[in-house]
Amino acid sequence: MTSAAVLYRALLASLNPTDALLLEYKTSQWAIIWVTRADRKDDPRIARFIKIFESDQIKQFIIKKFNGTVIPAW
């Protein structure tokens, strides 16, 4: 199970990840890394998706929705 799935289940169970003994830094190896096939590396749709995902609007949504327990890593 991925750490995102574990975190999601913890949130559903009303557990607060900030009470954990350890928290990962936003520079963790588990931060989102975008990859694509070589033949699609210049696809404007992929670039647009990443730009939208990494926007300040999405960042603020994540911070508000998860109350600081999920840290945008970009």
pLDDT single digits (tens) 27-38: 776 677 888 999
- Does residue 17 contact residue 69 with C-beta atoms inside 8 Å? yes
pTM passes above 0.75 = no
How far is residue 43's CA from residue 68's CA, in Å, rounded to a whole number?
A: 33
Highest average pLDDT, of 14-23, 44-53, 56-65, comes from 44-53
Cα–Cα dist 28/42, whole Å = 27
Residues 50 and 58 sit within 8 Å (Cβ to Cβ): no
Q: Which residue has the higher pLDDT, 67 or 2?
A: 67
Q: What is the pLDDT of residue 16?
A: 73
Rounded distance between C-alpha atoms, residue 47 and residue 23, angstroms: 30
